[in-house]
Amino acid sequence: MISRQNLAADTHSASTIDMKTIDPNRYERQLAMPEIGEAGQHTLEAASVAICGLGGLGSAASLYLAAAGVGRLVLIDHGAVELSNLNRQVLYGDDDLGARKAARAKERLARLAPSAQLDAHDAVIDLASASTLLADVDVVVDAMDNFEGRHAVNAACVAHQTPLVHGACAGFEGRVASLLFEQGPCLSCLYADPPTQDGPTPILGATAGLVGAAQAGEAIRVLLGVPALAQRLLLVDTARWDVRTLIVKRRMDCPVCGVGSADGE
Ligand SMILES: [Zn+2]
């Protein structure tokens, strides 16, 4: 885990960090990016990110976070791999059917990032468990498929003041936001009345992959101190390639983060 002070710091200020553990071949293409470089790569290596939900969004997000060199991933899901998952949950294959997702995700990601610390939790995420599961991470990725779990994660992140990268998709449409709680909003501000869910959500796998990859990219930007979607909600309609962002702000009457907020408006 990296300190909150360093989380928000300018990446380029970390010039005194010991560089010897970075593999220059593995991360060659990131080290060449001025926005990352050696200091940024060390920031990622020292970072800890939780992925809540290892389905379509969580598959893409965890693969790209592991590939980018994030040092520790906390993998949380309480499901088994089903045949109907495989159109979008690219962590798994036919030989994983019936297996627990958290364990198989850990195996898959270890092949991609053998030096990463991968903590797998076959656990239900609810109000009772979220605070403990998410206690010591720098960023949380919300890749869940139900609002009960999402709101438990949100409450834990507000309590711990941990940045939450929200993602959701249905059909050809997706959305992503960085919820940075010192300035708001939180997930409950965005969804005062969570949509009701009647049966499985129709999803094209490519849309889930797009949103999950966007979440990984945004989580990395949060870790580097340069979030692109703070107080903005990205909306993508891949049926028409309509991409836009909405300004989103804290609701003063939000039951989770709004009461007594000094900077809410
Ligand atoms: Zn709120």
Distance 155 CA to ligand 1 centre (A): 9
pTM over 0.75: yes
Distance 256 CA to ligand 1 centre (A): 5
Distance 143 CA to ligand 1 centre (A): 19
Distance 160 CA to ligand 1 centre (A): 14
| Residues, CB within 5 angstroms of ligand 1 (ion) | 186, 188-189, 254, 256-257
Distance 218 CA to ligand 1 centre (A): 20
Are 102 and 75 a contacting pair, CB within 8 Å? yes
pLDDT for position 64: 98
Distance 235 CA to ligand 1 centre (A): 20
> Where do the domains of the chain lie?
25-247
Distance 76 CA to ligand 1 centre (A): 24
Q: What token pair was written down for 117?
A: 């610390």
Distance 4 CA to ligand 1 centre (A): 21
pLDDT for position 101: 98
Distance 107 CA to ligand 1 centre (A): 36
Are 207 and 171 a contacting pair, CB within 8 Å? yes
Distance 243 CA to ligand 1 centre (A): 25
- pLDDT < 70: residue spans in the chain: 4-20, 259-265
Distance 188 CA to ligand 1 centre (A): 5
pLDDT for position 6: 59
CATH class of 25-247: alpha beta
